[in-house]
A and B are shown apart, each in its own frame.
Chain A
Amino acid sequence: DTAVSQTPKYLVTQMGNDKSIKCEQNLGHDTMYWYKQDSKKFLKIMFSYNNKELIINETVPNRFSPKSPDKAHLNLHINSLELGDSAVYFCASSQGVRPQHFGDGTRLSIL
């Protein structure tokens, strides 16, 4: 009965590859987010979608492209992976201004 689920949990790949992370929420929330958490645990928003529409796009390289096929799903595709992309990526969802619910993260390691 996981509320916000991400796949995969771990992703190890080489520099230059393209990869995707998937996120699904079963809470009926209208808004979904992607966050990046670096090695110092700093958590920063990357994107936010509301009802499949992009509403927040922080200063993120064009290599990152979110896609929301429906309001329950928000995927993140990353092209030409770089060493600096190594981090934990969290998906979250919320309804209105109520607290965001987070998934357990995808740990991305670039070799």
Chain B
Amino acid sequence: SAVISQKPSRDICQRGTSLTIQCQVDSQVTMMFWYRQQPGQSLTLIATANQGSEATYESGFVIDKFPISRPNLTFSTLTVSNMSPEDSSIYLCSVVAGQSGRLYEQYFGPGTRLTVT
């Protein structure tokens, strides 16, 4: 399995500012995703972070608002730009395991709890 860490674990930010969330994986992975989850609710895929190319965004999410970097196979960042209270949520990084016996299994980071005031 993959061990994923995220920084920060939580933050309280003022509207209009930006926050960059870091995701570090302990092994090289091909597929990395960013999700948003309201507490107790389902996960919404924001984008797929592609190594060496631009991220692939889901409907309703745009690069200007959620720029993503993926400089290598173990690290990615998600920035939440020009924040508003509606951006308050838990942001999750996840990766897909590629090892035999664990193929296609998705592993999640602990999440970043963001509150925008």
Partners in one complex: no
Interface residues of B (CB under 8 A from A): none
